[in-house]
A and B are shown apart, each in its own frame.
Chain A
Amino acid sequence: MEWPANGSALWEIVGLTIRVTGTALLAGSILGIPLGSLLAFTRFPGRRFIVALVYTGMGLPPVVVGLVVYLLLSRSGPLGSLGWLFTPPAMMIAQTIIALPLVIGLTMTGLEAVDPQLRLQIRALGADRSQEILTLLFEARAGVVAAIVAGFGGIISEVGAAMLVGGNIEGQTRVLSTAIVLETRMGEFEFALVLGGLLLSMAFVVNVVLMRLQHRPPYWPGR
């Protein structure tokens, strides 16, 4: 049986997968790591409630996120004038929402696991607030990287939201996970399996890179 996708179409799918998931992971991390730090380092009324919400959000079904984003971005919805439905930005938004609680929650637990004595020590050495948090984040980097890995794992293979708000449009919004669903639906099991292998290899490479960050002190700008 001839494979349904030619080489260039396949690379288009891979490229879009990297672009969508990468952007969502970046946005999720930029928002999630500070929010996770905030939850770890501050105490305020209602914090426990928010933490419970974050933990619940770690189990958000992607298709529910997709449905909510669809209703927001639909032309009959409040943000319809943006015209983002069935475009990559819609998928990025949905995947950011899916990744966010994972990044927040695991960053928080990672930071909370750092020895409290260390905080006193850092302050005693005269560090200001931002220096203190950055040092603690560095100490907790295993946890922070685990947070990013979890966020990545939550969205790279996610299909419910990508299908609903992306539409699996050939050459526009088709990513690996939705392509796998399509090929499976069409009975092209072998090709679906190849795509699955490709998805796993991508995840493997990304995880290896992230794990290196966990163990090696990264270049620390300006310090």
Chain B
Amino acid sequence: MPRRLPRLLSLLAVSAAALGSCSLAEPAVLRLATTTSTADSGLLDAILPGFEETHNARVDVVAVGTGQALELGQNGDADVILVHARSREDAFVADEYGLARYDVMYNDFIVVGPPDDPAGIQGVASAAEAFTAIAEAQAPFASRGDDSGTHTKEQVIWQLAAIEPDPDQGWYFSLGQGMGETLQFAGERGAYALADRGTYLFQRDNLPGLVTLFGGDSIAENPDPVLHNSYGVIPVNPALHEGIQADLARQFVEWLTSLETQEKIGTYGVEVFGQPLFYPDSEAYRQAHP
């Protein structure tokens, strides 16, 4: 038996070496922490190969809620973040976790719910009024409850409505889950929910129990500017932690906000959904399309 031990050990050493080397000898890796909405909508799959080819890089996408994405950036575990919660993004930069925030794109939020609309929110003038009607009717409402960008927006609207939803009353469900799970819950339970239009459009075929009740059929029809959903990109401050790919992150931001990439963002989804899922909004794009 002892004779065999060296062989076993060398086998282990070889497999350990194989493990160690598996992530090396590859193009530079940029780690992008972003929200589930950009990843699950298929947008990143459509545009990222362009960056990877031109910059001999690989982009590792970690799709989490905005809260966790910011946390990953703060801990230096992402090189660049792409999220949608403006006030928190500004705070992230002000606290010097990020270098600067750049506009990338926008879409909008909508309120979805059961077709029979028990709270009667169809036709109200603002999202806050819709929320008020839901609360007054004590109609079921599914909240992300996960510290995401959508959850942050939902809280803003409740504040505007001057309502503090109480989970103990039995109509407000704080799920602590992603947009997809929340929409599925709402569809199954006949509940209302705040959703980003992109994710809703992307999943609409799987959600027979839901219709758009506030926010119209496209962003142009959305009557409430509060529902504007702006995405920003922030390179993480490389001074905070070792190993952050600052150069690549800067190149990524330049690429993402460039006119060429912005045009791609603006056409993604048009063929399938009849409208873009995201609208380009970088400075370069706005200058070219005043």
Residues of A within 8 A of B (CB): 1, 23, 30, 74-77, 80-81, 83, 85-89, 92, 130, 134, 167-170, 172, 182, 184-189, 221-223
- In this complex, what residue of A is CB-closest to B179? A185
Q: Do A87 and B23 have beta carbons less than 8 Å apart?
A: yes
Give 13 A-B pairs besides A187-B203, A221-B1 with Cβ atoms closer than 8 angstroms: A75-B244, A76-B77, A77-B75, A80-B243, A83-B23, A86-B60, A89-B23, A168-B63, A169-B60, A170-B45, A186-B180, A187-B183, A187-B184
Cβ contacts under 8 Å, A187 to chain B: 180, 183-184, 203, 205-207
Give the distance in Å from the alpha carbon of A86 to the alpha carbon of B232 in the complex. Answer: 23
Q: Which residues of A contact B198 (CB under 8 A)?
A: none
24 contacts between A and B (CB under 8 A): A23-B19, A74-B77, A75-B75, A75-B244, A76-B74, A76-B240, A81-B242, A83-B243, A86-B62, A87-B23, A88-B22, A89-B19, A92-B19, A130-B1, A169-B61, A182-B40, A185-B40, A185-B178, A186-B40, A186-B180, A186-B203, A187-B206, A188-B206, A222-B4
* A4 shortest CB reach to chain B, Å: 9
- Does chain A have a CB within 8 A of B31? yes
Contact partner, B62, options A168, A184, A189, A223, Cβ 8 Å: A168
Q: Interface residues of B toward A: which range?
A: 35 or more
User: Bound state CA distance, A77 and B93, in angstroms?
Assistant: 22
Closest chain B residue to A75, Cβ basis: B76
Q: Is the CB of A185 within 8 A of B36?
A: yes
Q: How far is the CB of B177 from chain A (nearest CB, A)?
A: 8
* Residues of B with C-beta under 8 A to A30: 12
Which applies to chain A's interface (DSSP): helix, strand, loop or mixed? loop
Q: How far is the CB of A185 from chain B (nearest CB, A)?
A: 4
Q: Is A167's CB under 8 angstroms from B62's CB?
A: yes
Task: Compute how far the CA of A30 lies from the CA of B9 in the bound complex, rounded to whole angstroms.
Answer: 11
Are B77 and A23 interface neighbours, CB within 8 A?
Answer: no
Q: For the complex, what is the distance from the CA of A134 to the CA of B74, rounded to whole Å?
A: 50
B20 contacts chain A at the CB level, 8 A cutoff:
yes
**B241 contacts chain A at the CB level, 8 A cutoff:** yes
B218 on interface, CB distance cutoff 8 Å: no
